[in-house]
Amino acid sequence: MRILVAEDHPNLARSLADGLREEGYAVDLTQDGNEAMHLAQTNPYDGIVLDIMLPGKDGWTILKTLRQRNITIPVLCLTARDGVEYRVKGLDLGADDYLVKPFAWTELTARVRAMIRRGHGKNSAILRTNDLEIDTATKAVRRGGTPIALSAREFSLLEYLAHRKGQVVSRTDIWEHLYDQHDEAASNVVDVYIGYLRAKIDKDFPLKLIQTRRGQGYVLGSEE
C-alpha cells in the first residue's frame, strides 16, 4: 500500500514517514503544499495523510481541489486545531477522517488502516480468499488455519491483491502501489515477490490461489 504524507514540521514528517515504512507502507513524503497537490494528482495512492497548515497550498485547498477533480483517494487530515468547526469543515470538504495533534501512534496507524480498507470498499480488518485469511490489523496470515510468516513487502503485496480479489492486477499497478517515488528496484521485482508469495501461500496446498494472466498480470482467487 502506498501513502502520501504531507506534513511541514520536519521532525514529525520524518517520524510519520519512517514509522509508516516500518509498518510496511511505501511512503512519499513532502513538506510543501504545492508538491503535495502535484503528487496527489499524478500517483495512485491508497491514502493521504494531510497536514492542514502547509506552505504553498494549505490542506483545505488541496482537499477541496482533489474532490472537485473527482480524485477520490482517501484522506486523513492532521491538525493542531481541536475545534468542532474544523472537523466539520474537513469532513464537508471530503476528508475521510480527522486527527488532532498530538496523537497516539497506535491511533494514527489504526485510522490509516481503516481509511485504506474503506477506500477499497472493505469494512472488516480480515480479508478472506477461500481458506486464506489476512488480518490487516495484526499482519497475521493463515492458510487453512496454518500461520504463514511473511516479510513486510510480501504482506503488502498479498494485502493489495486481496483488496483486488478476483480482478486482474497488472505489474505496473502493483509497482505503483507498493513502491514509492525513490525506489529503484529491478524491473522484475514484482515477479520475484510473486514467486516468494507462491512459495509460501500456494506451494503446500492443492488449490492454487495466485493465478497468472499472461500478458495482463495476476489474480488472487482460485480458477473456476
Written as one letter, the residue type at 132 is L
Q: Which one of 100, 119, 138 terminates a domain?
A: 119
> What is the average pLDDT value for the chain, to the nearest integer?
90
Which stretches of 19-145 are assigned E, i.e. beta strand? Answer: 26-30, 47-51, 75-79, 97-100, 126-129, 132-135, 140-143
Residue with cell 514467486: 195
Domain range holding 196?
126-220
| pLDDT-derived band at 218, boundaries 50, 70, 90 | very high
We report the CATH number of the domain holding residue 35 as 3.40.50.2300
Residues 202 and 114 in one domain: no
Q: 53 with 94, same domain?
A: yes
Please tell me whether the overall predicted TM-score, pTM, comes out greater than 0.75 for this model. Answer: yes
Q: Are strands 47-51 and 2-6 parallel, antiparallel or unpaired?
A: parallel
Q: 178 or 18, which is more confident?
A: 18
* pLDDT tens for each residue of 129-177: 999 999 998 999 999 999 999 998 899 999 999 999 999 999 889 988 8
Give the count of domains, the chain. 2
The answer to whether 51 and 98 have CB atoms below 8 angstroms apart is no
Q: Are residues 194 and 134 in the same domain?
A: yes
**For residue 114, what are the β-bridge partners?**
none
Contact 5, 28 (CB under 8 A): yes
Do residues 145 and 87 share a domain?
no
Q: What is the pLDDT of residues 40-93, one digit of tens each?
A: 999 999 999 999 999 999 999 999 999 999 999 999 999 887 777 877 888 888
Same-domain pairing of 39 and 143: no
**Domain end among 91, 119, 147:** 119
Asked if omega into 102 is within 30° of 0 (cis), the reply is: yes
How many Å apart are CA 186 and CA 117, to the nearest integer? 29
